[in-house]
Structure 1
């Protein structure tokens, strides 16, 4: 097998594996409501496989630098969510999602102009969550209507995420660790959920999923920071495994806390 054919075969396999993650998460989200759906959506469904595949092609220093670039991008994703939540209450998906994506890319452009440190990345996340979480709070509760799945829903979601993974893996050698880290954290799962759910169930219920995801993104930001530190000290395998464990433990903790509060309401 020629090197080009082998590269294409491996790339297709990587894209297919990631698409499978998204299909599973999408089904769970639609059937479980905004709270559980948000916890699933903030697991590293897209960024996780992207980083795993990057680690297969690059050294630990590359992964550490990529994680450092991803940290402030996590804050940009919070503002994407906040923008969508406010606009989705009264606007269609084109306006709501379109403006949210523009906000994300504008912030991403600003982020890439700055030489970030770990402390700086943590600080911008702390400020972002202090601003966004209170503003999202009143939109977290909405009734989730019964969803009738259309034939193209799952293929579309899978194609979105697979395309992102393909772009990250293919472009990583050209755009470097900073560009790869930013591209890996483009909120493709959020985007696909907005794109598919909004036309079918309306803006407010879809916005409720995103509003509930705020606390999950906080755990994701912590995981990215830990990944940066551990990659430098212990290598990519330990860093990526620890980041995944943090995300899962954090979201399980949020789920348990929510159930506990529900008992006393």
Structure 2
């Protein structure tokens, strides 16, 4: 078997694995309501596989540097969510989603111009979430209508994430860790949620999923910082495991706190 064919088969396998993660997570999101859906959507179901595959091809230094570039991009994602949430209350999918993507692309283009330190990346996240979380709070409490799946949903979601993984894996060697880290954080899950749910259930219920994702995204940012520190000091496998554990523990804590608020004390 030629090296080119072997590379192609390995790339297709990586794309299929990543697509399976995202499709499963997005289906659960549709059926579990905006709160649980948001917690699932903010797990590293898209960026995680991309970073795992990058770690297979590159050393720990590459992963640590990529994580530094990813950290401020997480701040761009929460501004993208805010843009969509606000506009989707009154506007069409094209206007809301198009504007949200424009915000993300614009901010990511600015981010790539700078060499980010861990402190600067964390500061960008704290400022971004300090602004966006209060603004998103009023849009969180909307009942999720029943969603009927259509035949093209799963193929479209699979194609989105498979394309992302193919771009990250195929270009990482010549674009370097900074661009790879930015591409790896392209919001595939949020994109599929917007594109699929908005035409069916309307802007406000779809926006509720993204509005509830704010606290989860904050934890995701912390997980990226943990990934950077873990990869730089302990190697890629441990760094990736620490980052995943951070996301899971953070989101489980949010879920537990949410359940406690619903408990009515006995009189």
Separation in structure 1 between the aligned mates of residue 36 and residue 120 of structure 2, nearest angstrom: 31
Separation in structure 1 between the aligned mates of residue 140 and residue 162 of structure 2, nearest angstrom: 29
Post-superposition shift, 1:264? 3.3
Unaligned runs of at least 5 residues, structure 1:
none
- Deviations along 1:90-145, one digit per CA (max 9) or x if unpaired, are 11111100000000010001101112110000001000010000000000011111
1:8 alignment partner in structure 2: 8
Spell out structure 1 runs of 4+ moving beyond 4 A: none
**What is the 5 A alignment of 1:4-153?**
4-153=4-153
1:183 alignment partner in structure 2: 183
Separation in structure 2 between the aligned mates of residue 144 and residue 129 of structure 1, nearest angstrom: 24
> What TM-score, normalized by structure 1, do the two folds share?
0.99
Unaligned runs of at least 5 residues, structure 2:
none
Separation in structure 2 between the aligned mates of residue 230 and residue 147 of structure 1, nearest angstrom: 40
**What is the 5 A alignment of 1:210-225?**
210-225=210-225
Separation in structure 1 between the aligned mates of residue 49 and residue 148 of structure 2, nearest angstrom: 29
Kindly tell me the number of residue pairs found equivalent between the two proteins: 265
User: Is 2:260 the partner of 1:260?
Assistant: yes
Separation in structure 1 between the aligned mates of residue 98 and residue 171 of structure 2, nearest angstrom: 24
Separation in structure 2 between the aligned mates of residue 47 and residue 58 of structure 1, nearest angstrom: 16
Pairwise CA RMSD: 0.8
Post-superposition shift, 1:146? 1.0
Separation in structure 1 between the aligned mates of residue 70 and residue 264 of structure 2, nearest angstrom: 38
Separation in structure 1 between the aligned mates of residue 182 and residue 101 of structure 2, nearest angstrom: 14
Separation in structure 1 between the aligned mates of residue 25 and residue 211 of structure 2, nearest angstrom: 17
Separation in structure 2 between the aligned mates of residue 135 and residue 196 of structure 1, nearest angstrom: 24
- Deviations along 1:49-82, one digit per CA (max 9) or x if unpaired, are 0000000000000000000000000000000000
